[in-house]
Amino acid sequence: MFSPFVMKLQYAMKFDIVDGKIRVLDKDQVMISPEILVEVQKEIENKLGEEGNKIIYNVAKKQGKDVLEYCKQITGFQKIKLQTLALDLVQTYGFGKFEVINLDWDNCSVILHVHNSIICKKYTEKFGHVNKPINYFLSGLLAGIYNVIFENNVECMENLCTASGNLYCEFIIKRGEK
């Protein structure tokens, strides 16, 4: 069963799976298992350490920004509608269930909780619990998304992580350096 968001996309002819191609919002997509993402991240981390994590973050930040700028262009959405669209889209891609805890438009900051992170679940299944947050890709993606929503340069830091034994992942997005 599709989520209400995917059903809306389907109705608007913005979601399609035909002839081996997946298209969402007129863009080609690829479904990939979380195990692959976790393995790639771990390999990059093993080879490059923190520098590898920064690469993952920066690539995801650019993609988040590019995708949401495109969404903004085709929908005309601003602020809260754009945030709703972005979080629905990221949730649809399987990154977990998003909850906005605190949103401050004036200071360009937001705190998000993510429940049911499949990336964290697969990471801990494969490598066990760790003593630091591991969602570099999602952190970067959220930073890019909120750069567009706030129309301001923001960074995202994962403060709590289920891979570290927390009940949810917490992301703090605000102006300034990561």
User: For the segment 78-108, what is each residue's pLDDT rounded down to a tens digit?
Assistant: 999 999 999 998 998 889 999 999 999 999 9
Range of the domain at 162: 33-175
> Residue 97, SS3?
strand
Together in a domain, 12 and 88: no
Together in a domain, 80 and 119: yes
Together in a domain, 12 and 42: no
Together in a domain, 24 and 38: no
Together in a domain, 55 and 118: yes
Number of domains in the chain: 2
Q: How many residues does the chain have?
A: 178
Rounded Cα–Cα distance for residues 69 and 43 (Å): 31
> Residue 82, SS3?
helix
Together in a domain, 17 and 46: no
1-44 per-position pLDDT tens digit: 555 655 555 544 566 777 788 777 777 877 789 999 999 999 99
Q: How many Cα neighbours within 13 Å face the side chain of 120?
A: 28
140-166 per-position pLDDT tens digit: 999 999 999 999 999 999 999 999 999
Together in a domain, 51 and 116: yes
Together in a domain, 133 and 73: yes
pTM higher than 0.85: yes
Q: Give the pLDDT of residue 2.
A: 53
- Distances from the Cα of 110 to the Cα of 25, 100, 103, 160, angstroms: 26, 7, 4, 15
Together in a domain, 25 and 41: no
- Distances from the Cα of 29 to the Cα of 17, 32, 48, 83, 153, angstroms: 10, 10, 28, 21, 27
Burial class (CB in 10 A: 0-12, 13-18, 19+), 131: exposed
Tell me how many degrees the CA angle 119-144-40 measures, rounded to the nearest 5: 35
pLDDT band at 75 (very low <50, low <70, confident <90, very high): confident
Together in a domain, 23 and 38: no
